[in-house]
Amino acid sequence: MATKKSFESELEKLEKITEELESGEISLENSLKKFNEGLKCVAYCSKQLNDAKVEIENLREKDGKTEATPFADDAENGIKSENGRGY
């Protein structure tokens, strides 16, 4: 039975790949395959995190009205959204 792909399963897979690469016990060819597999895990996890961030921004409420507001770290790092205001 196939395991359902999730953030947690992909993160666990990425941690295992990292351990294998850091061990230095696999061939260069296998290292490249593992590295490529790791990149796919990173892309999946990044998308999941970004999707969650967008959902949280959309659910924040202010004065009883739903309003998108910036995450503190985004505003502090000068990250701006499409509207140019940081949220």
6-39 tens-digit pLDDT: 999 999 999 999 999 999 999 999 999 999 999 9
* Assigned domain for 71 exists: no
Q: Which of 31, 7, 9 is nearest to 20 (CA)?
A: 31
* Assigned domain for 15 exists: yes
Strands (E) across 1-87 are located at 61-62, 65-66
* Assigned domain for 36 exists: yes
- Cα-based angle 50, 55, 56 (whole degrees, multiple of 5): 100
Token match 């790949």: residue? 17
* Assigned domain for 46 exists: yes
Q: What is the mean pLDDT of residues 51-57?
A: 87
* Assigned domain for 13 exists: yes
Query: What integer pLDDT is reported at residue 87 of this predicted model?
Result: 40
How many domains is the chain built from?
1
Residues paired with 66 in a beta bridge:
61
Domain that holds residue 41: 7-57
* Assigned domain for 26 exists: yes
Instruction: Flag whether pLDDT at 43 surpasses 70.
Output: yes
Query: What integer pLDDT is reported at residue 54 of this predicted model?
Result: 86
Query: What integer pLDDT is reported at residue 74 of this predicted model?
Result: 56
